Amino acid sequence: MNKKMAFIVALGCAYAGATSTVNYDLLGRKGSKMNSPMVYKNIDYSKMKKDKQQVGSSLEVKSLAKNAGPGFQNNADAITGIFNNRGLEHQNNTYPYYMKRYFQQGAPLEGWYSTLGGESGYMKQSNQVFFPVPMERKNPVNLQYGVRTNVPSSEYSLSTTNYTFNNNSQPSPYSYSQYGNTEMINYMPFSAIENYAKRYSIWWYDNPSYTPNPEQWDDVGIYMSIDALPVKLDPNKSVPYLKLASGELFEPTPETEMLSSRTYDVIKATAKNSVIFVGSEYPLWPEDYPLNPNHRSPFVYVGVRNRQYGNVDNQLAKQYSYETMQVDNAIYRGRRIDVIPAGNYNVRNNSGHLGLEAHAANAITVGAVDAETRKITSYNSTQSYYCTLGLRQCNDGNNLRIGSRKPEIYNFSHYYFDHQSNSNYPQEQKRVYTNRSTGIAYTYNPYYDGSEMAAAYTAGQIANLLSANPYYRWHPEMVKALMLTSGDVSINTPYPNGTPITTKMPSYYSMLTDQNHSEVFHESRYWVGEISKLYTHYTDEGQKEIRFSVKRPTDKSNFTAAIAWLSSGSDLVKVGRVPQDIDLYVYESNTSNVNNLSNLKVSSLDGDNAYERKSFTSNANYLIFRILIYADRTPDNSDNKGKIVLGFDLAGI
């Protein structure tokens, strides 16, 4: 629901730092000529060395480290950062990256960065704020390899045959509410999916010889939360992965084995340099991922949760659950980007509610779009509810509140891997599992469908983004905002469940950007920590807000802006809704004066979602953004009270 607000205020608080500054170069010398890749303002460079300490007991620090920013060190209270792929203006120079850190005591540290890598790069300082992760590429050790099958041979026999893709129209495996069980799906080759998603536009990223940074970035780790270990669907390809817990045991079925194996294949086909970690549970704390590169290399930045138990159907499964709370807490504390499928009707008696974990407010929930028609599939799930009485207290269906609207993103499903067009794709086979007791045969043709495959594809896209531009690592809030702004592949009508949050899907062209590739304009920002350090203005009603300006690129007039924020799952359960209500306002101006709020362009004032999004056109010189913390319902006894984890993106396509 939208909130009607009758007031717009303009207070005179200033966001910029002091006007009189002393510059220090990387060696701590005063009077820098700004010819260093990074210049700090009003600080002693020696202070930066204090950041070099181990994470160890960082979660025990009685400050932001425990919740909003695990890994924060030196008693940090807050941090804010900016990336602009056209460059941020500073003292007659342009820098793509900016960071400012606030501490419980002492002056903030402020820096502009021209590079990501090296001792003087943005990532060196960012990693020391969150986790001291080595950036150099290392080959992971202790890899395991998928076998032909892990399903017990005493229960099932397995036969495989080569498959020829002649007639790719197949009966739907789902119970479509509109059409019944007889609907046919026309599956498309995966190469067509990549073409629809404009993979060709990132030739620079796919070129093995392209190295835009001083060092090869450590590849992105992706954690698959699964019910069975992935196996070889192509007998000629290896399936390397790392088990999060080496002694963990699985009890696979044909269905769970196929789901995890197909998830694996989609991720590796999309993000071929990623390293897959597998496990049946999701670690809640960063320490559950050992930082020793001999054990965990690369670091895990992305998670995808394609689990069978997410498709249960009962009254409690329609609501925010204990499992969902754990997922939200894991994202909030561990700062990994979780991608979760919305779910499919057929396993929930057409009730249409989300999969068990897809209710997670912090996750990126993904719905499926048919590859051939580019329409939202009619089996997508959309309904999310929060119990206002607490976990498991609304099993009668009463006292429910509509949750944060899902899914936020739609992506392609219904495809197959055409090995002949690309030898990197798996050459898969038809698999038949036959139950030895009953004689029932379970046949799996090599077709990929369901919202699980759309989620796996999205996870691969995000892994590529984090590999190409590591600035977005540690920031699920900013990545969600980016995904909400980066749609440029239209979804065709009609929409089966009302107009979706965005009517376009993200493409590589619109989302994959760095300082060297800026055809699509992006300015991305984040604010993490104590609101008292990060806000820039007060309203007359005492509400805090953040204001800033963005200079409009002269070649862009069509924009989408979005904000997204994270919440503790435990706090959400206590208040029965997303604890913080944050609004987005956009103004036009001829100057960068953030107090010029006379020309409101658009606003997004939803009261239930964990994000806001708005598209608009503008030819003004500057866009003034006002982010209003309309309400903070975080419980007073929560360690998260007074903190924020907020991301922003503005895209000009």
pLDDT digits (tens, 9 = 90+) for 118-128: 778 898 888 77
Same domain? For 615 and 486 the reply is no
Does pTM top 0.95 for this prediction?
no
Identity at 283, one-letter amino acid code:
P
With a cut of 60, say whether residue 289 has pLDDT above it: no
CB 296 within 8 A of CB 133: no
Same domain? For 34 and 111 the reply is yes
Which of 88-102, 296-310, 593-607 shows the lowest per-residue confidence on average (mean pLDDT)?
Answer: 296-310
Highest mean pLDDT among 55-64, 214-223, 270-279, 410-419: 410-419
H helix runs in 165-202, sequence order = 190-196
Answer with the one of 474, 508, 542 that is the final residue of a domain. Answer: 508
Residue 230 pLDDT:
97
Q: Residue 198, by phi and psi: left (phi above 0), alpha (psi -120 to 50) or beta?
A: left
With a cut of 60, say whether residue 46 has pLDDT above it: no
Residue 325 pLDDT:
93
Is 228 inside any structural domain? yes
Q: pLDDT per residue over 169-216, tens digit each?
A: 988 777 554 444 557 899 999 999 999 999 999 999 888 776 655 445
* Residues with Cβ within 8 Å of residue 409, at least 6 apart in sequence: 364, 365, 366, 367, 458, 483, 484, 502, 505, 506
End-to-end Cα spacing for the chain: 28
* Residues with Cβ within 8 Å of residue 514, at least 6 apart in sequence: 85, 212, 468, 469
What does the block give as tokens for 270?
Answer: 């999309």
What does the block give as tokens for 37?
Answer: 């890749």
Confidence grade of residue 105 (pLDDT, cut at 50, 70, 90): confident
Beta bridge partners of 411: 368
Number of neighbouring beta carbons within 10 Å of residue 211: 11
With a cut of 70, say whether residue 74 has pLDDT above it: no
Is 7 inside any structural domain? no
3-state secondary structure of 387: strand
Is 404 inside any structural domain? yes
Task: Kindly state the average pLDDT of the residues 27-39.
Answer: 31
With a cut of 80, say whether residue 315 has pLDDT above it: no
Q: pLDDT per residue over 322-346, tens digit each?
A: 889 999 998 998 888 999 999 886 5
Q: What's the half-sphere exposure (Cβ side, CA atoms, 13 Å) at 332?
A: 28
Q: pLDDT per residue over 613-644, tens digit each?
A: 999 999 999 999 999 999 999 999 999 999 99
Residue count of the chain: 653
530 compared with 311, residue with greater pLDDT: 530
User: How far is Cα 85 from Cα 653, in angstroms, rounded to an integer?
Assistant: 13
Same domain? For 126 and 262 the reply is no
Is 17 inside any structural domain? no
Phi and psi at residue 460, in whole multiples of 5°? -65, -40
Beta bridge partners of 496: 498
Phi and psi at residue 194, in whole multiples of 5°? -65, -35
Same domain? For 480 and 573 the reply is no
Bond from prior residue into 407 cis (ω within 30 degrees of 0): yes
Residue 344 pLDDT:
83
Confidence grade of residue 545 (pLDDT, cut at 50, 70, 90): very high
Identity at 486, one-letter amino acid code:
S
Number of neighbouring beta carbons within 10 Å of residue 526: 26
Residue 64 pLDDT:
35
Q: What's the half-sphere exposure (Cβ side, CA atoms, 13 Å) at 46?
A: 2
Task: Kindly state the average pLDDT of the residues 40-59.
Answer: 29
With a cut of 50, say whether residue 295 has pLDDT above it: no
Residue with tokens 């002693």: 44
Same domain? For 52 and 78 the reply is yes
Confidence grade of residue 561 (pLDDT, cut at 50, 70, 90): very high
Residue 454: in which H helix or E strand, if any? helix 451-468
Same domain? For 295 and 384 the reply is yes
Answer with the one of 484, 508, 532 that is the final residue of a domain. Answer: 508
Is 238 inside any structural domain? yes
Residue 522 pLDDT:
98
Same domain? For 217 and 103 the reply is no
CB 23 within 8 A of CB 32: yes
Q: What is the CATH number of the domain that holds 51?
A: 2.60.120.380
Task: Kindly state the average pLDDT of the residues 3-7.
Answer: 40
Residue 60 pLDDT:
26
Same domain? For 219 and 343 the reply is yes
Highest mean pLDDT among 5-14, 48-57, 184-193: 184-193
Task: Kindly state the average pLDDT of the residues 576-604.
Answer: 97
Residue 389 pLDDT:
94
CA angle 203, 455, 505 (to 5 degrees): 60
Q: Which class for 293: exposed (0-12), middle (13-18), buried (19 or more C-beta within 10 A)?
A: middle
Which of 12-16, 377-381, 592-596 shows the lowest per-residue confidence on average (mean pLDDT)?
Answer: 12-16
* Residues with Cβ within 8 Å of residue 125, at least 6 apart in sequence: 48, 51, 99, 111, 113
Confidence grade of residue 6 (pLDDT, cut at 50, 70, 90): very low
Is 259 inside any structural domain? yes
Of all residues in the chain, the percent with pLDDT exceeding 70 is: 79
Answer with the one of 458, 475, 508 that is the final residue of a domain. Answer: 508
266 compared with 130, residue with greater pLDDT: 266
Is 562 inside any structural domain? yes
Beta bridge partners of 215: none
Residue 137 pLDDT:
56
Same domain? For 571 and 549 the reply is yes
CB 128 within 8 A of CB 502: no
* Nearest C-alpha neighbor of 560 from the set 586, 528, 594: 586
Same domain? For 186 and 116 the reply is no
- Number of folded domains in the chain? 2
Is 115 inside any structural domain? yes
Which domain range does residue 199 map to?
144-508
Residue 258 pLDDT:
96
Same domain? For 371 and 469 the reply is yes
3-state secondary structure of 616: strand
Same domain? For 471 and 545 the reply is no
Q: What is the CATH number of the domain that holds 289?
A: 3.40.50
> In whole numbers, what is the pLDDT of the chain averaged over residues?
82
User: How far is Cα 82 from Cα 521, in angstroms, rounded to an integer?
Assistant: 14
Task: Kindly state the average pLDDT of the residues 384-389.
Answer: 92
Confidence grade of residue 297 (pLDDT, cut at 50, 70, 90): low
Q: pLDDT per residue over 501-543, tens digit each?
A: 999 999 999 999 888 889 999 999 999 999 999 999 999 999 9
Which of 62-66, 68-72, 90-94, 585-589 shows the lowest per-residue confidence on average (mean pLDDT)?
Answer: 62-66
Residue 2 pLDDT:
52
Residue 208 pLDDT:
75
DSSP tag of 46: G
Confidence grade of residue 487 (pLDDT, cut at 50, 70, 90): very high
